[in-house]
Structure 1
Amino acid sequence: MTPQAPVYERAADDAWLTAVYYRFHAWSGRRPFWAGLFTLLGGIPIVYFPYADMRLGNVTIAMATTTGSGSLIIGVLLVTLGLTLWFQQGVRVFAGVAAILLALVSLPVSNLGGFFVGFIFAMVGGALALSWAPGIPADEEAGAAGAAGRAQAPRIGPQGVPAPYGTETEYATETTAHADGGRNSAG
């Protein structure tokens, strides 16, 4: 061993950490993980700020308002929607729309949506939930592509240019050129 190229020996404890990482990656890949995380994180500041107080020496500054119960309801619902996105992917459209509506309602109800932090997180989480679509597993994708590929495989012409299908003509005739907006040879 030289000081220029140190050799790091892998500990036996790293194997379980790697297994946990790959399991988590596989789990989060089958669901709208980031949508749930952003929605869940959006509910935390909405709940926190109306009930938080800050102490500066002997002076206590509190943001307690009459809308504390509304903030609590909105924040708890956003956290619940975030967890729902993780564990019940089938309701992702409902959860996304509900998260966006709750984020919009949090602006006037709970201190400008948790001083815009919770509002932005909830809006992004709702948008991600609406845009997420479940993927097709690789083995099903290969089977579906094989069945569809046999039915209508593209023909390859010269120099790798796709050739027309059986229903298309290879060269435009005078009739098809005129029907497609081409020049009429008679006129």
Structure 2
Amino acid sequence: MSAETPVQSAGTFTRARLRFRDWRGDRPFWAGLFTLLSGLPIAYFPYATLKLGQMSIAMATTGGAGSLIIGVLLVTLGLTMWFQQATRIFAGVAAIVLSLVSLVVSNFGGFVMGFLLALIGGALALSWAPGEEGAPEAAQSDGPKEVPSADVAPGPVADAGEHGLPVPQTADAGASDNDNGRNRAG
């Protein structure tokens, strides 16, 4: 290859993956996914019929309609978290409240699976915050950067003062410390 060789464009799969990653990074994706998935067992189990050979076991309860409503609302809240990020606080609180209601109404919250997924999704929605736009990753360092102050002359810095801030050491302060040390010893 030479310097003039044009760079091949990324494949369709790579471009789609990168676009999805960018889309996912701009919204509370995992909160929406957990909340969306929590609605499925809550709505499904009251209407499920299990066949064991000739015997069928129906899970139909009086809370079937309530379970269906809670499940559909949780799926809707999960989609809302994805497509309307501004309502994430409301959607997170609503998901947590609906998960608690599902314990009583819907077979212990879809046999605890839907309950736990909704709680985790709601908590993730409440804790998610949008990132700052245009913040380069190089600017985000491991620790705070020291900026020299205009009123403090550069020079050696003594141990931290009473508030944890560095105290500049002057020539006079160093000499008086040494004198005080001699006077105490002598």
When normalised by structure 2's length, the TM-score is 0.71
| 1:65-124 deviation per Cα after TM superposition (whole angstroms, max 9, x unaligned) | 010000001000000000000000000000000000000000010000000000000000
What secondary structure is seen at the aligned counterpart in 2 of 1:72?
helix
1:170 deviation in Å? 3.0
Shift in alpha-carbon separation, 1:160–1:20, aligned structure 2, 3 A: farther
What secondary structure is seen at the aligned counterpart in 1 of 2:33?
helix
1:158 deviation in Å? 6.3
Q: Residue 78 in 1 paired to residue 71 in 2?
A: no
Q: Counterpart of 2:75 in structure 1: which amino acid?
A: V
Q: Residue 48 in 1 paired to residue 37 in 2?
A: no
Following TM superposition, the consecutive aligned residue runs of length 4 or more in structure 1 with deviations greater than 4 angstroms are 156-161
How many positions carry a matched residue from both structures?
Answer: 148
Shift in alpha-carbon separation, 1:159–1:61, aligned structure 2, 3 A: farther
Highest Rg: 1 or 2? Answer: 2
Q: Residue 119 in 1 paired to residue 115 in 2?
A: yes
Q: Residue 61 in 1 paired to residue 54 in 2?
A: no
Q: Is the 8 A contact 2:157 2:168 kept in 1?
A: no
When normalised by structure 1's length, the TM-score is 0.71
RMSD: 3.2
Identity of aligned residues (%): 60
Partner of 1:170: 168
Q: Residue 101 in 1 paired to residue 97 in 2?
A: yes
Q: Residue 154 in 1 paired to residue 131 in 2?
A: no
Q: Is the 8 A contact 2:96 2:122 kept in 1?
A: yes
Shift in alpha-carbon separation, 1:135–1:112, aligned structure 2, 3 A: same
Shift in alpha-carbon separation, 1:159–1:134, aligned structure 2, 3 A: farther
Q: Distance in 2 between matches of 1:160 and 1:154?
A: 14
| 1:15-51 deviation per Cα after TM superposition (whole angstroms, max 9, x unaligned) | 1111110000000000000000000000000000000
Q: Counterpart of 1:170 in structure 2: which amino acid?
A: P
Q: Is the 8 A contact 2:157 2:167 kept in 1?
A: no
Q: Counterpart of 1:107 in structure 2: which amino acid?
A: L
Q: Where does the alignment leave 5 or more consecutive residues of structure 1 unmatched? A: 1-11, 146-152, 172-187
What secondary structure is seen at the aligned counterpart in 2 of 1:31?
coil
Q: Distance in 1 between matches of 2:46 and 2:156?
A: 68
What secondary structure is seen at the aligned counterpart in 2 of 1:61?
strand
Q: Distance in 2 between matches of 1:114 and 1:129?
A: 21
Q: Where does the alignment leave 5 or more consecutive residues of structure 2 unmatched? A: 1-7, 140-145, 170-186
